[in-house]
Structure 1
Amino acid sequence: MSPKGAVMICGHGSRDERAVSQFNAMVEAMKQTHLADYDVESGFLEFAHPILRDGFEKLKAMGHKKIYALPGMLFAAGHVKNDLPSEVNNFAHENPDIEVLFGRDLAIDPKLLMAAKERIEEALAGADDSVDRKDTLLMVVGRGTNDPDANSNVYKVARMLQEGMGFGRTEISYSGVAHPRVNAGLREAMKLGYKRVVVFPYFLFAGILIDRIYSHTDEVAAEFGDVEFIKAGYLKDHPMVLESFAERLTEIDTGDNNMNCQLCKYREQIIGYEGDVGTPQVGHHHHVMGIGTDGHSHDHGHHHHGHGHGHHHNHDHGHSHGHSHDHGHSHSHDHDDAKKSTGS
Structure 2
Amino acid sequence: MKALMLCGHGSRDQGAMTEFGGLADKLRARLPDWHVEHGYLEFAKPVIRDGLDRLRESGAETVLALPGMLFAAGHAKNDIPSVLNTYAAANGLRIEYGRELGIDPKMIRAAGDRIKECLVADGWQDGDPLHDTMLVVVGRGASDPDANSNVSKVMRMLWEGLGFGWGETAYSGVTFPLVEPGLDHASRLGYRRIVVFPYFLFTGVLVRRIYDQTDNVAARHPEIRFLKAGYLAAHDLVVETFVDRLNEILEGTNNMNCQMCKYREQVLGFEAEVGLAQESHHHHVEGVGSSADCTLCDTVCTGACRAASREHGHGHQIARGTGHVHHDHDHTHEGGQAHHHDHDHGHSHGDAGHHHHHPYPQADHPLGPRSMKAGAMPNADVSKP
TM-score for the superposition, normalised by structure 1: 0.85
Q: Distance in 1 between matches of 2:245 and 2:33?
A: 16
Q: Read off the aligned partner of 2:98 and give its amino acid letter.
A: G
Partner of 1:331: none
Structure 1 residue 256, shift from structure 2 partner? 1.5
User: Quick one: distance in 1 between partners of 2:247 and 2:260?
Assistant: 25
Distance of 1:108 and 1:76 partners within structure 2: 11
Secondary structure of the structure 1 residue equivalent to 2:119: helix
2:24 and 2:340 map into 1 onto residues whose CA distance is 33
1:157 aligns with 2:154: yes
Structure 1 segment 87-236 matched on structure 2, within 5 A: 87-96=83-92, 98-129=93-124, 132-236=129-233
* Unaligned stretches of 5+ residues in structure 2: 295-322, 326-332, 351-385
Task: Give the SS at the match of 1:91.
Answer: helix
**Which residue in the other structure is 1:247 paired with?**
244
How far the C-alpha of 1:126 sits from its partner, in A, is 1.5
Q: 1:314 to 1:101 in 2, by over 3 A?
A: closer
Contact 2:129 2:163 in 1 (8 A): no
Structure 1 stretch 79-88 or stretch 277-286: which is displaced more? 277-286
1:162-206 Cα shifts (integer Å, max 9, x gaps)? 110000110000011111111110001111111110000000000
| Alignment CA distance shift 1:90-1:197 (3 Å) | same
Unaligned runs of 5+ in 1: 318-324, 326-334, 336-344
Match of 1:23 in 2: 20
Residue in 2 that maps onto 1:276? 273
Partner-residue secondary structure (3-state), 1:116: helix
Cα deviation code 1:75-127 (max 9, x no counterpart): 0000000000001110111133x221001000001001000000000000021
CA distance in 2, matches of 1:239, 1:216: 29
- Give me the whole-angstrom Cα distance separating, in 2, the residues matched to 1:102 and 1:51: 17
Q: How far did 1:297 drift?
A: 8.1
User: Which whole-Å CA distance do the structure 2 matches of 1:92 and 1:42 have between them?
Assistant: 16
Separation in 2, partners of 1:305, 1:277: 20
CA RMSD of aligned residues (A): 2.3
Distance 1:157 1:173 in 2: 12
Further displaced range: 86-95 or 241-250: 86-95
CA displacement, residues 223-260 of structure 1 (integer Å, 9 cap, x when unaligned)? 00011110000000110000001110000011111111
1:307 and 2:321 aligned: no
Using the TM superposition, give the Cα deviation of residue 132 of structure 1 relative to its aligned residue in structure 2, in angstroms. Answer: 4.2
Cα 1:202/1:59, change in 2 over 3 Å: same
Partner of 1:60: 56
Match of 2:373 in 1: none
Paired residue for 2:41?
45
Q: 1-side partners of 2:25 and 2:153: how far apart?
A: 30
When residues 99 and 69 of structure 1 are mapped into structure 2, their CA distance, relative to the original with a 3 A threshold, is same
User: Structure 1 counterpart of 2:172, which letter?
Assistant: S
| Letter of the structure 1 residue corresponding to residue 43 of structure 2 | F
- In the TM superposition, what is the alpha-carbon distance from 1:309 to its structure 2 partner? 3.5
Per the alignment, do residues 310 and 74 of structure 1 end up closer, same or farther by CA in structure 2, a change over 3 Å counting? closer
Moved more, 151-160 or 274-283: 274-283
1:316 corresponding residue in structure 2: 346
One-letter amino acid matched to 1:82: N
Q: Percent identity?
A: 53
1:5-27 CA distance string (max 9 Å, x none):
00000011000111111000110
SS of match in other structure, 2:66: strand
Q: Is the 8 A contact 2:142 2:148 kept in 1?
A: yes
- Contact (CA 8 Å) 2:5, 2:52: kept in 1 or not? yes
Q: Could you say which residue in structure 1 is the equivalent of 2:372?
A: none
Q: Distance in 1 between matches of 2:179 and 2:134?
A: 14
Q: Is the 8 A contact 1:266 1:276 kept in 2?
A: yes
